[in-house]
Structure 1
């Protein structure tokens, strides 16, 4: 039994040693023992390489504005596990968190009497289903896959809508090295008769998604076909675009997060919301959309955490994410002298991931973070094909050192891994 939040943290941290174990058999059995809480929930299930969290953030903001209780389950966290279980943007309270995991632990003790052990992510996913079904009942759950889709622990649910953001290479050791293989994994969330909405534009990925949707008799809504956007205006305060679809002739939307990739994420969110309005009688008025989209924020996505000195953090951690980040920087900050501090997980190819930023930055400082998947600063430094590079093993020391050197017109950019950014949170709270 757990007496404190710290007890739970240590318990979950110990589960990281089990690693990643794709497959649904363990979750099926454990959730059966819990009474299938996932079956009592209305769920929107979202997969994709990048943009899942931002899409969820837009939807949550609009639905909260419309008066709904919305549960969100995303990963990883920045500062504590409770961040992953939100209702209307508010973390689960410490007391409920302890009660939830004690309830979970009662069933787990019996379930794991044999040799089967659940992973950290499986336990958190089961906790999310239980929390939203029993402890804090909600009108809708916005559920993000952890990795891939087909074999992801979240795929145990039967949603009312599925969505896929973009598809690009990432987690190749689990999902495969080709776009087609990765698309098959992510399209694995498609369920029989359940609509799937996607902003994927890669032709190979779209062909896979379309084939699986046809096999499952799932209605497919694709960008530039059943819905679209027209990017109208862009400045440092946000983006403005016009949304249109088979349901909506034209609707002007303003968002505060920067970049065309955020316009696409918001477009996907709008289409999902419109589907819920048309087919599930969700009451979403124009004013809910206008306020909800503009008010939406998502930590660590093009986020300016300091203006003097100018510091931006971004959760980009693969090549596609870096390409989106580079495009946004060129558009909004062409005059800035950019100094990059970065750390990556060890399965990443440093040049493959960071090369979109190479033409934009004056210097790269390689650092590292505490995680079993983290690369060393030395390895990144040695492999990086970039001339102006330095090493500082401590990310906090690296940031403090560079902040002191920044002048007017300079930007400090921190990106490469959400685990890396999590270690820097105390500096910018």
Structure 2
């Protein structure tokens, strides 16, 4: 048993990242021993290739502005491990992490003696989350899928409503090589008779999701058909403004302080999901509180401006689809400025394709680097890009210092790539 937070955290991080046998059997075994705490939770379940974290944040902020106590389960963390299990945006305490780990630890030992094998790190954390929220610490819990959906540890929940934000090519070695295969995994969160809200997804993926929804007798709400925006614009201050409509509500000139068309789409998924949640539960929300919740929603590391002089922006564009949306935002809002881009990514991502996309930006100077993570793409793997005129720096701190020395005052520093990289950068620069 663990006496300190550090002991508990070391044990959690010492677990395998992925299970030897994929599936939900280990989760079901542990939760049954715990008398099924997940069944005591009113939940919203959110899957998708990108946009999950932002959508969870919009959901939490809207519900919190309406006086609800909202639990969230997210990954990865940006500042502290504890933020993965939060209440109204506040991470649970070190003492709670230790207490919860001590509940799961003997179960993990017992499970290791079975043919199922011991739980993975994510299974341990997910079980801790279900224990905590099963104790009644929140009115509503918004749960972000870790990976995929069908076989994800969170997929033991029967939510009030589910949402799929986006579908793109990522984690292909686990989820499948095509959009249809990936969509099938994401659509695994659709439960019988539980409504599903779908964001802006490619037609190939949408067809798969619709088939799964039909099979489960699930009502499906589609972006652009069942809910839509009649006009959008970027605000002169940092953020976006848009109009939201569906069959039931019309919200004019709603504002968010997260930048990019993709954040408008995430906010719209959140709004429609909230609308369905209210229909299913009888919850009534105040329209002005909805506006306030959207306007105050903040998710670190998503086009986040952390400095104005020089302008430094952090964005966790950690896969090929996210790089595409980042480029869209740069072309829409920063076309007139020189961009000094510092990029670091995990080895298992489509590194070549991501860099090729960034190279198409005419006003962009690219520096490739690495960071302190065993899965990070190493400098020696990036050396070949020198031939195309890209700068390579072993340490991002050195790259940042050099750029600050050389840049003009109107230029922008954009630090992007892996969310683990953004977490490291943000921790150091903000402190």
For Structure 1 versus Structure 2, the TM-score category normalised by the shorter chain is over 0.9
Q: Deviations over 1:47-85 (max 9, x none)?
A: 111101101101101111111111000100123210101
1:19-418 alignment, distance < 5 Å: 22-114=22-114, 116-134=117-135, 137-235=137-235, 236-360=237-361, 361-382=363-384, 384=385, 387-418=388-419
Query: Taking structure 1 as reference, are residues 10 and 399 closer, same or farther at Cα in structure 2, changes over 3 Å only?
Result: farther
Structure 1 range deviating more: 293-302 or 410-419: 410-419
Deviation at 1:379, TM superposition (A): 0.9
Q: TM (normalized to structure 2)?
A: 0.95
SS of residue matched to 1:32: helix
Query: Taking structure 1 as reference, are residues 327 and 241 closer, same or farther at Cα in structure 2, changes over 3 Å only?
Result: same
Query: Taking structure 1 as reference, are residues 401 and 159 closer, same or farther at Cα in structure 2, changes over 3 Å only?
Result: same
- RMSD of aligned residue pairs (Cα, Å): 1.8
Contact 1:21–1:119 under 8 Å retained in 2: no
Q: Deviations over 1:169-192 (max 9, x none)?
A: 000000111000000000010000
SS of residue matched to 1:305: strand
Q: Deviations over 1:78-109 (max 9, x none)?
A: 23210101100001012222212112223333
SS of residue matched to 1:393: strand
Contact 2:19–2:119 under 8 Å retained in 1: no
Contact 1:38–1:130 under 8 Å retained in 2: yes
Take 2:73 and 2:387, find their aligned partners in 1: how far apart are those partners?
A: 38
Take 2:40 and 2:19, find their aligned partners in 1: how far apart are those partners?
A: 29
Count the aligned residue pairs: 427
Contact 2:303–2:315 under 8 Å retained in 1: yes
Deviation at 1:21, TM superposition (A): 5.5
Deviation at 1:28, TM superposition (A): 0.9
Take 1:397 and 1:14, find their aligned partners in 2: how far apart are those partners?
A: 32
Deviation at 1:428, TM superposition (A): 2.0
Deviation at 1:356, TM superposition (A): 2.8
Take 1:68 and 1:271, find their aligned partners in 2: how far apart are those partners?
A: 18
Unpaired segments of 5 or more residues in structure 1? none
Contact 2:320–2:350 under 8 Å retained in 1: no
SS of residue matched to 1:230: coil
Contact 1:350–1:380 under 8 Å retained in 2: no
Structure 1 range deviating more: 297-306 or 404-413: 404-413
The equivalent of 1:6 in structure 2 is 6
SS of residue matched to 1:9: helix
Contact 1:319–1:354 under 8 Å retained in 2: no
Q: TM (normalized to structure 1)?
A: 0.95
Deviation at 1:256, TM superposition (A): 0.7
Query: Taking structure 1 as reference, are residues 402 and 2 closer, same or farther at Cα in structure 2, changes over 3 Å only?
Result: farther
Take 1:96 and 1:114, find their aligned partners in 2: how far apart are those partners?
A: 28
Take 2:68 and 2:411, find their aligned partners in 1: how far apart are those partners?
A: 42
Deviation at 1:378, TM superposition (A): 2.2
Query: Taking structure 1 as reference, are residues 386 and 211 closer, same or farther at Cα in structure 2, changes over 3 Å only?
Result: farther
Take 1:302 and 1:125, find their aligned partners in 2: how far apart are those partners?
A: 28
Q: Deviations over 1:306-363 (max 9, x none)?
A: 1111111101111111111111111111122111111111122323123332233532
SS of residue matched to 2:3: coil
Deviation at 1:12, TM superposition (A): 2.0
Query: Taking structure 1 as reference, are residues 3 and 240 closer, same or farther at Cα in structure 2, changes over 3 Å only?
Result: same
Structure 1 range deviating more: 327-336 or 389-398: 389-398
